[in-house]
Chain A
Amino acid sequence: MIELTVNGTKRQVDVVPEMPLLWVLRDELGITSAKYGCGVAQCGACTVHIDGKAVRSCQSHIGEVAGKSVITLEGLHNKDQNPVLQAWIEHQVPQCGYCQTGQIMQAIALLRLIPKPTDEQINQVMSGNLCRCGTYPRIRAAIHAAAANKMAEK
């Protein structure tokens, strides 16, 4: 049994330690906001937070996640007030939406590091997140809007 904390709850799973966190979340724990897109850290659809950092859950072996705190989009605090989620809705970013949970988790991590990023900084941090529908103009706009809202709150 491997024990980890997901969205504040202790969970136990009986799998091999090499199993990626992504598949533990999806198939063993039924937490599906982290998406399988590529399996090789090329698309970012599986992005979650481990101890506050954005990571590709397809590359995190569950054995190494044991004892750490995993937050998926489902586990964000106060989702209705979250400025990134609000901006994503306001700007109607999604088309198919499959990559967007990963985009959002990456954007939240970006804004924690850089509260008011430039386009260049957005490019640097968000380029690992692929969107096949091409919603990049809206992702950029939503991040700027979320940054502005966050600044206004302070």
Chain B
Amino acid sequence: MGHMQTLSRRAFVFGSAAVAGGIAFGAYGRAEAAAPSAEGNPLAAGLGANSVTFNPWVEISPDKITLIAQHADIGQGVGSVQPIMIAEEMDLDPGQFEVRFAGPSPAYFNTGFKEELAPFLAADQSPEAEAARAAALESLRKSGLQMTGGSSTIPDTYDKLRVAGAVARETLKAAAAKRSGVAVADIRTQSGHVILPDGSKIPYVSLAAEAARIPPVLDAQPRDPSTWRMLGKPMTRLDVRAKVMGELQFGIDLKMEGMLYASVKLNPGKGQPLKSYDASKARAMPGVKKILEIKNGVAVIATNSWYAMKAVDAIACEWAPSAYPAEQADHWKVLESSFKPELLGKEWRTVGDVEAGLKRGKLVEAEYRAPYVAHQPLEPLNGIGLVTDKGMEIWVGHQSPQAVQAIAANAIGLKPEQVTFHNQWTGGSFGHRLEFENVRVLAEIANQMRGTPIKLVFSREEDFLQDIPRQIAIARHRGSVANGRIVATDLQLASTAPFKGLLERMGAPSKDPDPQLAAGTWNVYYDIPNFRATSYEAQGLSPCTTWRSVGASTAGFFTESFIDELIHAAGLDPMKARIAMCNVPHYRKLLETLAEMSNWKGPLGNGRGRGVAFVESFGTPVAEVVEVTATDRGIRIDKVWVAVDVGKVIDPVNFENQVQGGVVWGLGHAMNCELTYSKGAAQQTNYNHHEAMRIYQCPVIEVRGLENDPKVRGLGEPPVPPAAPALANAIFAATGKRIREMPFNKFIDFV
């Protein structure tokens, strides 16, 4: 139970408030016995007169209804679906409530991480696996960790937000019953009103004061999905109109009275300090108010962002050298020599006798590679900070509210509770907004500019240079085939450790093997009699972090390409063989559905080819077929079919958009993106060096959502991992060329 140890250490960092304050479980009344306590509900403190809060997600004042979105919206649509899950139960319509992002509180601890933290395969629903998940949940509860990530928003909130809404609805009905003398059983709710038997309507807001004086109805049950008005049906995301009309304010759009603008130049050798600098040119440039030295660089304060960026560009800096190798070739050398016992992460899973199996039949060996890749959401890192004698206020879009408090506080000698965090709508993340460089730097700058609100905007180039990339990895896979079957598979990879890196920067270092290096390697659901999955953790390389789909983004490519090689070596059809080997019935159904959707009939010929890949990540199985044509101008991606099983599709239109976006993300970066180092600095500093997919390369992407999984699953990340191997397998089918390294454009041209 190594992962639990990781968590308990993390709990030590973030959990003190949880232990001291108690956690509100008003909405959990059904499952947990804990009584709701006013101090455990973070909404209680800011409640106005004649207002009520039933739990950490619902607040009603005489003027308005506010629903709290605890998970950060990074474009994945959870700023919409979270409040709609509550509104479904409360009989509220869009437009009848406001949405506010949650502040930091252990009341918003993420229950969804229990699936990923329990050391069992996602498809394993045995009592032992469920017991481990229950134990993980308790550990999470103690930690109070509030974080958006791991495709966990829907798994975390599907039950609790619907229960939160049901508690609010039933308590409002009870308040109306008390006022009117009518039995609760004769009262219903509709469109923001309680409806009495005589047809008279009481708006929820007018019941707020009375509802506050009665105990919440904690045993309220969410409704059967068959009665849903909005969920599960095509609905419009709450943020779509404001985004289309240009009215939605992202973090970067905020402005404050008396605000000044900052831009930074930081040591491109990530994490290392500044040695010296010469700002004589910058001082004389237009709009410049001040030059500041900070721990790992310099900042310019100016009257607008552009003046600040131009001036900071003109500062000459001398940097301490990077702690990792200066040149990219040496990063690969370190990885190549990392397959050794002292760097063993873990042998994650062993079935049968792999060494004996490898001696039978035809041996297949292959080495695969995946480079560092940048996140680079289109909204660059930014934030507004204001430090006064009382503490710091920070306005920034981030996925870890408590960590923002801790990092900012640590940087300038405050206590975490002295940092007030206001989460923002963000222009994408893909894992970037789990890191802290903008937060730490902003705290340092605002602390030197006390009393003045400072808006920090990273230039795109600085954002690239400071981007803590996806892990770099090499796989050395072996397998054997005999009599038209895969006999043995020995999957080994050496990689930097993304999740451990993130934990370390959050102040909770772990000595346990990085579980993300198991993802995509150990969770192979094919009936292979001799199977082994092993990770090695390379040391001394670039810091790395979670990049949309994390470990599976690289390992999924390695595993599903190599399985394809074995299938071809065995003389089998890639789709039929996967279906035949699949040992989880509803995963097999997923592959069969994909075969039917794509009308899979084997080789296409004439320079056309199809590849298939199947990866489960974060508990969600996804299978994809990519079809390509080898043209005179290179490979053209013609069409993609995707089948995804999430147990329950909550928001169907957004579901399709997310899946298509995940495929575009997976394909685009596999085609043409890598981050390489020279002289300790990333060599790619804008999108022309790190382009991913543009519209002219985007194929038609046909999506189908299945609902056979016993659990409700997330899907922000799982569509990513199968895209790269399905493309590589398609290129092999079309050209006979097996590409074993990303990005593929190092080996083949794309149209």
Contact = CB atoms under 8 A, between A and B. Distances in A.
Same assembly: yes
Interface in B658-675: 658, 660-665, 668
B243 A100 contact: yes
* Chain A interface, DSSP helix/strand/loop, else mixed: loop
Contacts of A89: 236, 240-241, 244
Nearest to A27: B304
A97 interface: yes
Contacts of B696: 123-124, 127
Interface string B233-246: 00011011101111
B304 A23 contact: yes
B465 interface: no
Contact of A38 (B245, B428, B687, B694): B687
B226 interface: no
B657 A136 contact: no
B430 A132 contact: yes
B452 interface: no
B102 interface: no
B430 A38 contact: no
Given A133-B661, A137-B700, A95 B76 contact: yes
B379 A98 contact: yes
Chain A CB count within 10 A is highest, among B461, B661, B701, for: B661
A117 interface: no
Contact of B653 (A38, A85, A92, A99): A92
Interface string A1-28: 0000000000000011001100100111
A108 interface: no
B249 A42 contact: no
B654 A92 contact: yes
Given A40-B688, A123-B695, A127-B695, A97 B700 contact: no
Interface string B451-469: 0000001011100000000
B376 A132 contact: yes
A39 B244 CA distance: 22
A93 B244 contact: yes
A95 B686 CA distance: 22
Given A95-B658, A95-B661, A100-B244, A129 B695 contact: yes
Contacts of B658: 95
A54 to B, nearest CB: 15
Given A74-B246, A96-B378, A99-B378, A135 B661 contact: yes
B657 A135 contact: yes
A126 interface: yes
Nearest to B719: A134
A98 B377 contact: yes
Contacts of B286: 15-16
Nearest to A23: B306
Given A89-B236, A134-B664, A96 B74 contact: yes
Contact of B380 (A15, A33, A36, A134): A36
Contacts of B663: 134
A134 B662 contact: yes
Interface in B670-700: 686-688, 691-696, 698, 700
Given A27-B304, A122-B695, A129-B695, A85 B245 contact: yes
A94 B243 contact: yes
B153 interface: no
B426 interface: yes
Contacts of B698: 134, 136-137, 140
Contact of A79 (B237, B245, B304, B695): B245
Contacts of A73: 245-246
Given A32-B253, A38-B686, A96-B378, A134 B693 contact: yes
Given A35-B427, A137-B701, A92 B694 contact: no
Given A89-B244, A95-B76, A104-B244, A134 B305 contact: no
B457 A133 contact: no
A53 interface: no
B75 interface: yes
Nearest to A123: B696
**CB-based closest 5 A-B pairs:** A96-B75, A134-B664, A98-B427, A97-B243, A33-B246
21 contacts: A15-B286, A19-B306, A26-B253, A28-B304, A36-B380, A40-B460, A40-B688, A42-B686, A43-B378, A94-B244, A96-B377, A98-B250, A98-B427, A132-B665, A133-B661, A134-B660, A134-B668, A134-B693, A136-B698, A137-B700, A138-B657
Interface of A: 15-16, 19-20, 23, 26-28, 30, 32-33, 35-40, 42-43, 45, 72-74, 79, 85, 88-89, 92-101, 104, 122-124, 126-127, 129-140
